[in-house]
Every structure is written in C-alpha cells, then in structure tokens.
Structure 1
Amino acid sequence: MAIVVVGGSTRNIGKTSVVAGIIRALPEMRWTAFKITQFGHGVCSANGEPCDCETAEHTIAVSEERDALSGTDSARYLEAGAVKSFWVRTRQGQLAEAMPRIRKELAATENAIVESNSILRFLRPDVYLSVLDPATADFKDSAKLFLDRADGVLLPEGELGRPTWKGVSLRLLEGTPVFAMMPPIYVGPEVVAFVRGRLAAVAADV
C-alpha cells in the first residue's frame, strides 16, 4: 500500500485541489482519501470560520462521504475518482484518538491519500507534498514542524519570491523539488510524474 500526504502552510491555498488533482491523474491507484480537520472552541481549522465540525458527545468523528455532489472537500475527492473518502474531525491536538479508526480504514484500502500536516506524527508516507503560499503570512505550526520532511513543494506560479513568513527558515527547503500550481490546474504533468516516480521507487525497494 502506498500513502501520499498533502499538507500546507495555511488554509485556502489549494491543498484540496492538489489532492483531487493527484487522485484524478492516477486513477489506477484506487485511492482512499482522508480529509483531516481539527477544531476548537467552535472554530474550524479548515477555514477559520465558526462551524459545525465539533461534536458535543465526542472528541472525534469519522464519517464516510457517499455523495460526490455534496460540495464538501471529501466529496471533491469522490468526484475526482477516489474509491472511498472520509472526513476525520478531532479536537486540536487530539488526532491520536482518531488513529485507531484511521489505521483500520488504511488496512482495508489499496492506496491512501491524506490531506493533513499533523498525520505525519503518526504515519511515514511514501510521498509528502507541502503546499505553500509565500504571499500569506500565516504558517501553521504543524507545517513548520514537518517542512524539512517535504519530498516536494507546490507554490503559486512556482516562484518562492520573498515570503512574508516569520520564523520559517528557507534552508529547510534547500534541495527540495519545487512545482508550480497554475489554477485551475493545481497538479501539472511534472507533479504527476514526480509522485508516480517516487511511488514506483518505493515499490521497487519493497
């Protein structure tokens, strides 16, 4: 089984579009996709707005998306061709509580793609892509923590420029392949070839 993780520096910068693009470009992988959202105090980490992610009874919730036209991020995965799609919601810092369910679903899948930074605390993926926006000052702590583990970086127009980030060392990106996102095409041929090549190399080593 192959695992691809797509994380990023902040919200609303194209992470879900990258996940959907990879699913669409590599249908032979028969992906199971996971969207991981962490919430706290009624505010969603996905978009920073008040939301209904939080459940009163539980600190975690895992739901399978079955409607590809519902408009949710997990529905976009299905629309792109994922075999299954799950939305995982946990309180901030409590993703560990959801890992038994996530591992159960992983054990039943052919290949998985996960939208999250924090999942890297618990899984070592075959490919980790980090989506960054140098024009946005916000930079998640989880993205900083794992930036040096990125196998590839995706940037608007493929240009790093002079980022507005504070407390982020660009040395962590030295030698890391950089790919351009050109909306509405977030995953170009170079990214597809890179992911396919990495997965093939990992499979050859097994």
Structure 2
Amino acid sequence: MRRQMVLSWSGGKDAAWTLHRLRATGEADVVGLVTTVTSGYERIAMHGIRRDLLQVQARATGLPVIEAVIPPQCDNATYEASFAQALQDARTRWPACETIAFGDLFLADVKAWREALCARLGWTPHFPLFGSDTAALAREMLAGGLCAQLCVVDTQQLDASFSGRAFDAALLADLPASCDPCGENGEFHTLVHDGPMFDHPIAIERGERVLRDERFAYTDFSVAA
C-alpha cells in the first residue's frame, strides 16, 4: 500500500505542481491539504488568497483542507503551535499518515527549518520539487496546463505592475534577470486556478491592487459570481 501524505498548500503554483507530481508518479496517496490562514484577514498567509477561494481550490483537488489559523503579525512560536495542531488534526483523521510534502524549490535554509520543525513534531518532510531548475520547471508547469495569476509582488525585487499578471510565457520573458522564474526568492507568489491537479477550472475575478507594509503589492482575486 502506498504511504499516505498530506501536502502543505499555499494556493500557489509550487504547491499545486507538487500535488500533480505526486499523483503523476504514484509515489504516495495524498489524502489532504494543510494551509496556514491568517485570522481577521481570512486569507492564506503570505499569498493573501481569500479563504473561500481556498475552499474552492480544495474541492477542485478533491481533497479536504486542514487550516492552521494564526493571528496577524504572528511570531514563530505561535505559528509552530498552530502548525503542530493542524498536523495533530491530520494524524487524528489519518492515523497512518506521517509525511507532509512541501513545494520548496532550492532554499536550503527553509528546507532545513522545515526538517527541524517536522522532526520535533514527529513527522517526515518530503520535497518532491527540491533542486529543480526553476526556469525549466516554470516551462514544465505552463506546458502541463497550469494557469495562475501573480497575487503578490515584493516591490523591493519586482515592479508592482507585475502583480495581477498571468503566470505565462510573456511574464517569464518580461521578468528581469535578477528575478527567479518561479519567484523562489520571494519575488512573487501566485494563485492557481486551473491545471492537471484540479478536476475543473476555477473562474476568478480580479479586484483591486493594494500596497501593504509599504512593500508588498497584493492583487485581490475572488471566485467569479
């Protein structure tokens, strides 16, 4: 029997492609998603994706989502406690599950931090995409039918005008040389609305773009009426 696994789900392309890769290779049975949601804002942490849009994404994957709820301006201890509770909820639901997959690509310090945290919590981390050539991976995603929009841009690394744009070949061509094609250095984050990990496309509507913390350009997306 294949091992059961949950997936750390951000709503973005790397998490979505990790799900697709795991299903395509058949190496594991992904049974659920784990997502960090910021209370008050009711959005996925970092990506700013609306909570109801998260639920629509989860339904499109055919998987339940377990939320790790954190307050705004969350410190690391509070985050870890919430994440630990979410994994405990997952273990209660799927007693045989002891592995969580992440969509990290090449940041060794982030990988090491996740490994240490999972070790403390009694879980095994798995990184299916780690070490990928991100330019090749971006092209693989697009060729494989992934559709996503840039939902947040770090304006210290990329112009705010990129926020809201489609993650497509034109975007890759327009990115400055200093920007990783997958945004792995935090240059941008994405919202996935179609691809082989979904059983149907998600219709979305683009809202306003706002600058937060005098740095991050968020573009609001909602489920189309």
| Bigger RCO of structures 1 and 2 (CA < 8 A, at least 6 apart) | 1
- The two structures have a TM-score, normalised by structure 1, of 0.40
- The two structures have a TM-score, normalised by structure 2, of 0.38
